Amino acid sequence: MTRMWKNAIRDGMLSLGLLVLASCTGRPLHVPTPDRTAYDATRGRVVTQRACGFMLGGVIPIGMNDRYQRGYDALIKQVPGEYVTDVKVREVLRYAFVGWRYCAFFEAMAYPKSL
């Protein structure tokens, strides 16, 4: 094999490796600090939500990068107009036949605002 072909193969493999690494980057979850408002602490309830993604063959991410944001947004949509606090996140990894399933479970306390 000529030197030119060896360099081309090396550059191609390096580019493919960088592409795979770049596709696996996730976005951090930004939880806004709620405004301090009066709420009814006697009527609090637990709300839960989950969001999952899949890693096909260990290299192709499907719904992985935004699963935290999707889960948090769905949690907040469950309790419109209520005071949400004490948000907990738990990550669970499960093996599937052709890859890995990653699920983020959210749990929080929701309190109705006082009038």
Q: Give the pTM.
A: 0.74
> What is residue 12's predicted lDDT score, i.e. its pLDDT?
82
Helix locations, 3-86, DSSP H = 3-23, 67-78
Question: How is residue 1 written in tokens?
Answer: 């094999």
- Report the C-alpha gap between 64 and 54 in whole angstroms: 6
Lowest mean pLDDT among 22-31, 35-44, 47-56, 58-67: 22-31
Q: Which residue has the higher pLDDT, 71 or 63?
A: 71
> What is residue 52's predicted lDDT score, i.e. its pLDDT?
95
Question: How is residue 93 written in tokens?
Answer: 């990894």
- Report the C-alpha gap between 77 and 37 in whole angstroms: 19
Answer yes or no: are the C-beta atoms of 51 and 104 closer than 8 Å.
yes
Domain ranges for the chain: 3-111
